């Protein structure tokens, strides 16, 4: 018998307690959510979905109505779908709803949690393998002689190098944006302009940080 998934273990759903959220919990959750929204994690989920959809040994299908009733997502399905795929998409939907509810609750608890959200998000960006490599590349380009024209009018060496790192970090994050959009669409996850803006800001900050480290050496 098919059982509808109703909960995600270890997650706080919007229907749960509205109690104030302490700093330690908000920092931990925002960090985990930042890691989950990173490009490496997104692409990993896309790969999981691709393998489920193309698993020829899995022959358990649901009608569109059955899948919408048992495993709803952001948009109703119009075609039959494998139950394993419907369940996976539904779990992604539940986690996304949980994250949205938690963020709203945390920000309502304290405006200082905006700083926590951005700080934890930046830390999560550093730990993302792909984003980390992009940041290192941006830091390297900031001291490359081939790009000395960028920020050449800035007199202070440290500021100039950090500016170059931020510039190249932003450019390289822009290159990654199509992959964020494509992967999010494939996973049926929401990805808005504010998400793009935050990724570009984190990319620029990461590039500036790695450039600053090179200056201090």
> What is the structure's pLDDT at 9?
40
Between 213 and 217, the more confident residue is: 213
Residue 1 is predicted with a pLDDT of 39
For the segment 13-39, what is each residue's pLDDT rounded down to a tens digit? 444 445 566 666 778 888 888 888 899
* Residue 61 φ then ψ, to 5°: -110, 155
DSSP-derived letter for residue 110 is -
For residues 28 and 18, give the distance between their C-alpha atoms in angstroms, rounded to a whole number.
18
Tens digits of residue pLDDT in 75-113: 899 999 999 999 999 999 999 888 877 877 777 777 777
Q: What mean pLDDT, rounded, does the chain reach? A: 80
For tokens 């050496």, the residue is: 217
Task: Give residue 4's pLDDT.
Answer: 45
Break the chain into its structural domains and give their ranges: 23-216
What is the per-residue pLDDT for 217? Answer: 54
pLDDT exceeds 70 at position 152: no
Q: 43 near 179, Cβ under 8 Å?
A: yes
> 134-143: buried (b, 16+ CB within 10 Å) or exposed (e) per residue?
bbbebbebbe
Q: What is the pTM of this model?
A: 0.73
Whole-angstrom distance, CA of residue 30 vs CA of residue 60: 36
- Compute the residue count for the chain: 217
pLDDT, one tens digit per residue, over 124-148 is 888 889 887 877 777 666 666 555 5
Q: Which residue has the higher pLDDT, 193 or 16?
A: 193
Instruction: Report how far apart, in Å, the C-alpha atoms of 206 and of each of 3, 129, 188, 190, 209 are.
Output: 44, 13, 28, 24, 5
**More confident site: 165 or 201:** 201
> For the chain, first and last CA: distance in Å?
63
- Residue 63 reports pLDDT greater than 70: yes
């Amino acid at each position: 018998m098919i059982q509808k998934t109703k909960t995600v273990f270890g997650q706080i759903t919007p229907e749960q307690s509205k109690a104030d959220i302490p700093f330690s919990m908000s920092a931990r959750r925002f960090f985990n959510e930042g890691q989950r929204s990173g490009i490496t994690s997104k692409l990993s989920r896309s790969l999981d979905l691709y393998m489920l959809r193309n698993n020829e040994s899995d022959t358990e299908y649901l009608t569109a109505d059955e899948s919408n009733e048992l495993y709803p997502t952001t948009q109703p399905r119009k075609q039959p779908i494998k139950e394993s795929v419907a369940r996976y998409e539904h779990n992604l939907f539940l986690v996304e709803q949980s994250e949205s509810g938690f963020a709203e609750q945390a920000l309502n608890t304290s405006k200082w949690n905006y700083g926590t959200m951005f700080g934890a998000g930046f830390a999560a960006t550093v730990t993302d393998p792909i984003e980390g490599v992009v940041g290192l590349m941006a830091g390297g380009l900031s001291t490359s002689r081939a790009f000395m024209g960028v920020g050449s009018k800035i007199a202070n060496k440290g500021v100039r190098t950090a500016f170059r790192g931020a510039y190249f970090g932003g450019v390289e994050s822009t290159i990654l944006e199509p992959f964020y959009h494509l992967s999010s669409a494939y996973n049926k996850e929401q990805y808005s302009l504010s998400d793009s803006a935050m990724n570009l800001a984190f990319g620029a900050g990461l590039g500036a940080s790695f450039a600053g480290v090179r200056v201090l050496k």
